[in-house]
């Protein structure tokens, strides 16, 4: 690594200052404020607040509605993470194996990622539109009367579908570059040692891809928990009340729609703790089994 | 144990110039064949076609009499050692060795026995539970060899296995490979760009150039009777001196030197003459009648000298052509000297095609190789 000498010891910190300022102002300060306000009962009209200790937390954790949303969030996160990883990997493996015209395949698969997320989300919603959505028509053809926004199950299905669809290109790019970074000779040695391509994949290629997969696991869990907000918002906004939502959406609903700043802050602190614990667990129990080359 | 027959095998990439064209090699059971040539000569491509890692554009490859053109690499009963070892980084040495056997449903006790055998042969015992990244280059190379040996395959394929090692290790591993191959007696096809490796390892070597075979033969046969100027300059170090000469009757003119061959050659006019640096000798007086009988004497103007310790390489010019002379390091040096080469050690090549013109200058009994002597000794 290159070592640079600065004439003044303060100069490097000056260079770092803009980045640090952004992090502090937009990440740490809100977090601190959230923790602070989670212990207060805020007046909805901003006329002051009362310290209530852990009342907000108790209120949240004892609410059956919150627990049921938490259950749905867990399921949603698990399904979105699993399917977007699995499909991204499948496509990457298949695209990697294409010999003729592989550049065209890769470009087509990656170009989806170049579409802006809100646009992609909107296109996804269109698939399930009550009047023009092709998927609603396909489902109707098989006798499934899809009512996204009205039926709990149908809405959940559409939400998971769109969330997965949006995330696949991201995973595809990482898996594909991971595959192409594998030394060709190791794959050739495996081709000589093992006849079955599927077995070869699980015994040699996948273990070597594990660092990429682990990184994507963490990114995808975070994506499913937080970044699917837009998808959910488009899908359940202004719809009847009995729709599946995730914890992040609940934070938004209670805080900005319900004006319950304290309760909403408590929820976001709980979410922070959950994500923190989840990440620690992932590093503790999964990363240990990963071989970095 | 098996023969490998490579019959009119060609490789053409996307309609471009062929990488390998119409190569024929018949490898007998237990033979050690080395494919040697400069980079881009098609030697690795040929090896990979035998392994099944490249498609064969035309021709057939038979291993043990069976045509394997459309057989998966895993079903060809071959084992390959790669240049960068290609060990599975997430597996221990033991798992690396056992992987190929496990996939062939070899019974567990058999796997353990073979891994133990290979570990003993290659002195890998202490490292069996280590991952490849905890091993040195030489140890990794031995694991790669072990992975091939445990399989008991019909043939070993080596793709420049020593070129990632440092010079000292390369020499010792070279010996080890030769010793192991003799011991297990497995037919081997070995690719290298290093002529020294080719000379020392091969039962027969195949010199490739531009996707074609220049010469197939036992190392000493190739050394003493190169089939073309390409082989002459590629095999042997320092490279054979190649100079332009003119033939008039039985007289050969090379620059200022006029040599009486005492015999006419099947060609006249321009010819390429080759002679090895080590076949040249300094002769005392400018006109030494005794030295001229049966040998070609030429004047040499010395440019510079390389001291190698055991000998010295004298680089100079003969007329306007550069040549190299290998001398013992205590031989006297002058800036102008006379060098002589026995007429029998002159090689004649066609000036245009570079093909060898005369094969009779090869002494008939000289083709006995060290390997033959060893064979007789056993």
A93 lies in a domain?
yes
A48 lies in a domain?
no
pLDDT < 70 stretches in chain A = 1-4, 44, 46, 99, 117, 240-241, 292-293
Q: What is the mean pLDDT of residues B181-193?
A: 90
If interface means Cβ-Cβ distance under 8 Å, which residues of chain B face chain A? 51-53, 72-76, 78-80, 82-84, 86-90, 99-100, 103, 131, 133, 147
A80 lies in a domain?
yes
Q: What is the mean pLDDT of residues B57-66?
A: 89
Answer yes or no: is pLDDT of B372 > 70: no
A161 lies in a domain?
yes
State whether A192 and B82 contact (CB < 8 Å): no
Interchain contact A196–B (C-beta under 8 A):
yes
Q: What pLDDT digit, counting tens, does each position of B316-325 carry?
A: 998 888 999 9
Which chain A residues are closer than 8 Å to B78 by Cβ? 192
Considering only residues B200 and B261, tell me which one the structure prediction assigns the higher pLDDT: B200
State whether A185 and B83 contact (CB < 8 Å): yes
Answer yes or no: is pLDDT of B363 > 50: no
Interchain contact A191–B (C-beta under 8 A):
yes
A47 lies in a domain?
no
A6 lies in a domain?
no
B103 → closest Cβ in A183, A195, A208: A195
Interchain contact A213–B (C-beta under 8 A):
no
Among A282-291, B66-75, B199-208, B216-225, which is the least confidently predicted range?
Answer: A282-291
Q: How far apart are CA B348 and CA B229, in angstroms?
A: 9
Residue A280 sits in a domain whose CATH number is 1.10.3720.10
Pick the CATH number of B230-361 from 3.90.1150.10, 2.40.50.140, 2.60.40.10, 3.20.20.10: 2.40.50.140
- Structural domain that includes position A106: 63-289
Q: How confident is the model at residue B1 (pLDDT cuts 50, 70, 90)?
A: low
Neighbours of A156 (CB within 10 A): 19
Question: Which of A183, A193, A206 should be substituted to probe chain B, the one whose Cβ sees the most B Cβ atoms within 10 Å?
Answer: A193
Count of the separate structural domains present in chain A: 1
How many Å lie between the alpha carbon of B196 and the closest alpha carbon of chain A? 25
Query: Residue B132 CA to chain centroid, in angstroms?
Result: 30
A43 lies in a domain?
no
CB pairs < 8 Å spanning A and B: 63
Q: What is the pLDDT of residue B361?
A: 45
- For chain B, the structural domain boundaries read 4-228, 230-361
Q: What is the mean pLDDT of residues B214-227?
A: 91
B51 → closest Cβ in A192, A195, A199: A192
Q: What is the mean pLDDT of residues B124-132?
A: 89
pTM of the full predicted structure?
A: 0.79
A88 lies in a domain?
yes
Query: Residue B233 CA to chain centroid, in angstroms?
Result: 12
Question: Which of B81, B88, B153, B155 should be substituted to probe chain A, the one whose Cβ sees the most A Cβ atoms within 10 Å?
Answer: B88
State whether A186 and B89 contact (CB < 8 Å): yes
Pick the CATH number of B4-228 from 3.30.450.40, 2.40.160.20, 3.90.1150.10, 3.40.50.300: 3.40.50.300
């Amino acid at each position: 690594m290159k070592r640079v000498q600065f004439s003044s010891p303060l100069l490097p910190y000056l260079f770092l200052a803009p980045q640090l300022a952004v992090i502090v102002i937009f990440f740490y300060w809100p977090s601190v404020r959230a923790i602070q306000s989670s212990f207060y009962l805020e007046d909805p009209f901003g006329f002051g607040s009362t310290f209530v200790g852990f009342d907000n937390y108790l209120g949240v954790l004892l609410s059956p509605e919150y627990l049921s949303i938490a259950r749905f969030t867990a399921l949603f996160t698990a399904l979105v993470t699993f399917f977007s990883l699995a499909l991204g990997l499948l496509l990457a493996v298949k695209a990697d194996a294409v010999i003729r015209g592989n550049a065209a395949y890769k470009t087509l698969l990656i170009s989806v990622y170049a579409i802006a997320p809100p646009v992609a989300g909107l296109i996804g919603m269109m698939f399930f539109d009550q009047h023009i959505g092709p998927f609603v028509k396909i489902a109707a053809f098989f006798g499934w009367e899809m009512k996204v926004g009205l039926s709990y199950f149908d809405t959940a299905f559409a939400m998971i579908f769109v969330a997965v669809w949006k995330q696949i290109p991201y995973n595809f790019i990482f898996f594909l570059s991971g595959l192409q970074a594998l030394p060709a000779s190791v794959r050739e040695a495996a081709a000589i040692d093992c006849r079955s391509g599927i077995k070869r994949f699980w015994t040699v290629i996948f273990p070597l891809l594990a660092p990429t997969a682990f990184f994507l696991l963490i990114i995808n869990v975070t994506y499913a928990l937080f970044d699917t907000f837009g998808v959910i918002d488009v899908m359940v906004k202004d719809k009847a009340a009995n729709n599946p939502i995730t914890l992040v959406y609940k934070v938004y609903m209670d805080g900005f729609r319900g004006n319950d700043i304290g309760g909403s802050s408590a929820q976001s602190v709980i979410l922070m703790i959950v994500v923190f614990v989840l990440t620690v667990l992932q590093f503790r129990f999964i990363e240990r089994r990963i071989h970095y080359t | 144990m098996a023969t490998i027959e490579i019959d009119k095998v060609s490789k053409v990439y996307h309609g471009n110039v062929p990488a390998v064209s119409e190569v024929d090699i018949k490898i007998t059971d237990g033979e050690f064949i080395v494919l040697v040539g400069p980079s881009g000569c098609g030697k690795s491509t040929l090896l990979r076609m035998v392994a099944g890692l490249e498609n064969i554009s035309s021709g057939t490859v038979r291993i043990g009499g069976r045509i394997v053109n459309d057989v998966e690499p895993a079903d060809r009963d071959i084992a390959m050692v790669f240049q960068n070892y290609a060990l599975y980084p997430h597996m221990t040495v033991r798992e690396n060795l056992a992987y190929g056997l496990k996939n062939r449903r070899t019974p567990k006790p058999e796997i353990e026995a073979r891994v133990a055998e290979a570990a003993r042969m290659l002195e890998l015992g202490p490292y069996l539970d280590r991952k490849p990244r905890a091993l040195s280059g030489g140890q990794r190379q031995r694991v790669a060899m072990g992975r091939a040996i445990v399989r008991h395959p019909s043939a070993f394929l080596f793709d420049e296995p020593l070129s990632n090692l440092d010079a000292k290790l390369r020499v010792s591993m070279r010996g080890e490979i030769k010793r192991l191959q003799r011991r297990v007696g497995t037919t081997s096809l070995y690719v290298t760009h290093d002529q020294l490796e080719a000379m020392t390892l091969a039962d027969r070597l195949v010199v490739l150039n531009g996707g074609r075979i220049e010469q197939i033969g036992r190392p000493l046969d190739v050394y003493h009777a190169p089939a073309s100027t390409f082989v002459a300059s590629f095999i042997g170090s320092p490279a054979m001196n190649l100079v332009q000469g003119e033939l008039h009757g039985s007289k050969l003119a090379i620059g200022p030197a006029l040599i009486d061959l005492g015999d006419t050659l099947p060609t006249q006019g321009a010819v390429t003459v080759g002679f090895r640096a080590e076949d040249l000798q300094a002769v005392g007086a400018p006109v030494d009648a005794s030295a001229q009988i049966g040998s070609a004497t030429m004047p040499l103007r010395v440019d510079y000298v390389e001291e190698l310790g055991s000998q010295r390489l004298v680089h100079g010019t003969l007329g306007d052509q550069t040549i190299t002379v290998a001398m013992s390091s205590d031989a006297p040096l002058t800036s102008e000297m006379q060098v002589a080469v026995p007429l029998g050690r002159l090689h004649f090549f066609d000036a245009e095609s570079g093909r060898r013109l005369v094969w009779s200058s090869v002494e008939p009994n000289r083709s006995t190789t060290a390997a033959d002597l060893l064979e007789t000794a056993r």
